[in-house]
Amino acid sequence: MSAAQPTVVIVGAGFGGLRAARALRRAAVNVVLLDRHNYHLFQPLLYQVATAGLEPEQIARPVRAIVRGQDNFEFRMVEVTGLDPTGKRVVTDNGPVAYDYLILAVGGETNYFGLEGIARRGFGLKDIPDALAIRNHVLRRFENAMLEPDPERRRAELTFVVVGGGPTGVEMAGALSELIRLVLVKDYPRLNVKDVRILLLEATDRLLGGMPARLGEAAAETLWRKKVEVRFGAAVEDYDGERVRLKGGEVIPARTLIWAAGARAVSLTGRLGLPTGRQGRIGVAPTLQVGGHPEIYVIGDAAYLEADGQPLPMMAPVALQMAETAAANVTRQLHGELPQAFRYRDPGSLATIGRNAAVAYIRGIGFKGFPAWVVWLIVHLIQLIGFRNKLFVLLNWAWDYFFYERAARLITK
Amino acid sequence: MSAAQPTVVIVGAGFGGLRAARALRRAAVNVVLLDRHNYHLFQPLLYQVATAGLEPEQIARPVRAIVRGQDNFEFRMVEVTGLDPTGKRVVTDNGPVAYDYLILAVGGETNYFGLEGIARRGFGLKDIPDALAIRNHVLRRFENAMLEPDPERRRAELTFVVVGGGPTGVEMAGALSELIRLVLVKDYPRLNVKDVRILLLEATDRLLGGMPARLGEAAAETLWRKKVEVRFGAAVEDYDGERVRLKGGEVIPARTLIWAAGARAVSLTGRLGLPTGRQGRIGVAPTLQVGGHPEIYVIGDAAYLEADGQPLPMMAPVALQMAETAAANVTRQLHGELPQAFRYRDPGSLATIGRNAAVAYIRGIGFKGFPAWVVWLIVHLIQLIGFRNKLFVLLNWAWDYFFYERAARLITK
């Protein structure tokens, strides 16, 4: 760190923030990364923590460990609470942090679309506490079902509703089915498996909207084989912790509702004094700069930018590519050059449904089944940060695959 | 399970309760095991969870997974709140549970000896939440120290006081020193290691009171080499979260106090209507039965029994051996035979201080250093339940040993 160099403050240690910090490692700047957690989380595998397959420590890594050895880097574990764009200072719970350039990579959160009951009694899946809450809740349902004499109430204990037919909902429903039907049945020999229901509710008429229709069909087919009731045109209206109410009046008694039906930028974006639009995202120019503030960049889930008339999706690849562009543009500004426009290159998408089953759509080619599953495994192992995490996740997967097990079946709260 | 067979209710899935359940697997009884957690915890390695070396899932295992396949066994996740010895029923938060024979293996908790300030602001180390609380707190101290401009306050953030020179205190102080001096120094290049203090306070004039004096000396020597300030004759009087006050007036500014200076039976023992004595333990006959209730056995930390004029220690080997005796005595009673008296065979004791360093006292032979450390490793791996846990713990240890790392450095709260 050098006092003479300009300071680039990055807010958020998710995919975007971390990539931006590393992309600036050779730039003549001081990089200060702020996050309220001390770790980077590999969100794509969070549903496996929620379904007792992985331990939280295996898909997260301390920021300081990742960025060890980068001389121009400093991490501060603080919570950002506001922004003073005129004074060029980020406001935190530990006082202000001055910047010359700012990269906001504050990420997304679950979007309940104002449905209060669901926000309060349903489960989102965005962070480690979310995942552990689902794990504890689901496992607890089985313990409670064993103690429940009333058959109606027991069935409600064992009914699990997943809302949203995107990748998160599909992966969650598939993993939940395998946890219950391959593993928990061994733990609960007195359990009547016919009492167990898993529902995947999708408001439109197809799963995996971002992929070709036939892959969505294949995913639905595979979920049915795993005894997941896939329901289309099913829009949830309310949930009181006991009963899910759908538009149209249908009522499903269920003690568990997992909400994977929407994302929005974190609510912090509304408190920064910058103009926000759809999903609470901050509108940016094609260069990822905020209008009127060429020194402020927004990337990832928090940024609103359209490509081909569509808003860019709130996904890791977008955040990673935006991070490269933002870091490059900051460097260009330092050299007196003009920032360049962001161009998104879609790397394709993947969703796994369980053992040997996945769908993939890469470079215009869609495939499914075992080949897609192998690609899914490899891609996720490669992307996971840290060799130790890769090794332990691979070992866990191998063990679970061969022994039909899940290691992390503890109820810790 | 058979309705015609007598029911043995076991309370507690610790070392004693679990061993008793398994010892009764071929007896003509229904075994009902009650615990408020769904897992068995391997407490001897809990300090490694507290010092970021192991993940909680690696030293715990679901009770249902352990006892899978035992036909006469049933587990219920309930909290026991009382006892009706006349009606032969255990009172739980899910209603009463009737028994013909009862084995109380309810375990121990931290004994603060009425020191309110320490109970409130210090940390005990008896369960997973305790260990995670210490891990989060210790790691958070380093993050805070990085943000703290005042040198006095920064030193207090980095002062860690461990109270109690028994095996838990010794292992905790050693592991804390290695976490900080071998691992965290790499994460915090701006940290001045001279600001870090670790103190081990012992009220008597020796460590590891259960072992020969020369092994206690060796442990103290090794801790000194690891820069732990070992203080004898140091009795803690009060702690307000900022300052530790010793008898005699000495005051040590420290934001962390870990209390490993005492154990007692869980407070539940006082609410069972059975006579309790020292450390809240329930007095038992040499057969482990409660006076006036030949159908009630108490084992492990909750049982008070003397051998050679000394109360038996609150340690896993005692609980395990008592479980065998209690199970055998229940079987004898079923056959109309007389219960036999418990005889404790001391298997020796072990304490590790860190890399290549431990002390051991087995069958009257004391040894230390690398050989004791290897014995410690092997004994703990063997005792850990479940091959998967053994494998993952071994891999973690190997990785940390060779790379000077700790995997679980996440602040999760």
Chain B residues closer than 8 Å to A129 by CB: 412-413
Q: Does A401 touch chain B (CB under 8 A)?
A: no
- Considering only alpha carbons, which residue of chain B is nearest residue A71? B189
- Considering only alpha carbons, which residue of chain A is nearest residue B143? A77
User: Is B38–A409 a contact, with Cβ atoms under 8 angstroms apart?
Assistant: yes
**Tens place of pLDDT per residue across chain A (413 aa):** 667 899 999 999 999 999 999 999 999 999 999 999 999 999 999 999 999 999 999 999 999 999 998 999 999 999 999 999 999 999 999 999 999 999 999 999 999 999 999 999 999 999 999 999 999 999 999 999 999 999 999 999 999 999 999 999 999 999 999 999 999 999 999 999 999 999 999 999 999 998 999 999 999 999 999 999 999 999 999 999 999 999 999 999 999 999 999 999 999 999 999 999 999 999 999 999 999 999 999 999 999 999 999 999 999 999 999 999 999 999 999 999 999 999 999 999 999 999 999 999 999 999 999 999 999 999 999 999 999 999 999 999 999 999 999 988 999 87
pLDDT at B413 over 90: no
| Mean confidence (pLDDT) of chain B | 96
- Residue B232: per-residue pLDDT: 98
**What is the fold, at CATH topology level, of the domain defined by B7-36+78-110+264-334?**
FAD/NAD(P)-binding domain (3.50.50)
- Residue A1: per-residue pLDDT: 61
How far does B195 lie from chain A, in Å, by closest CA? 19
- Residue B408: per-residue pLDDT: 87
User: Is B62–A407 a contact, with Cβ atoms under 8 angstroms apart?
Assistant: no
User: Is B64–A188 a contact, with Cβ atoms under 8 angstroms apart?
Assistant: yes
The residues spanned by each domain of chain B are: 7-36+78-110+264-334, 116-261
Please tell me if the domain spanning B7-36+78-110+264-334 has the same topology as the one spanning B116-261: yes
Residue B217 known to be catalytic: no
Mean pLDDT on B274-302? 97
Structure tokens at B149: 């401009």
User: Is A129–B412 a contact, with Cβ atoms under 8 angstroms apart?
Assistant: yes
- Among A109, A157, A171, A202, the one annotated catalytic: A171
Residues 147-206 of A with CB under 8 A from B: 147, 186-188, 190
Taking only the tens place, the pLDDT of each residue in B114-138 is 999 999 999 999 999 999 999 999 9
In CATH, the architecture of A116-261 is 3-Layer(bba) Sandwich (3.50)
Q: Does B399 touch chain A (CB under 8 A)?
A: yes
The answer to which of B11-15, B141-145, B363-367 has the lowest mean pLDDT is B363-367
Share of chain B above pLDDT 90, in %: 95
pLDDT band for position B1 (50/70/90)?
low
User: Is A56–B139 a contact, with Cβ atoms under 8 angstroms apart?
Assistant: no
Chain B residues closer than 8 Å to A140 by CB: 77
- Residue B4: per-residue pLDDT: 83
User: Is B38–A407 a contact, with Cβ atoms under 8 angstroms apart?
Assistant: no
How far does A144 lie from chain B, in Å, by closest CA? 8
- Residue A210: per-residue pLDDT: 87
Taking only the tens place, the pLDDT of each residue in B372-401 is 999 999 999 999 999 999 999 999 999 999
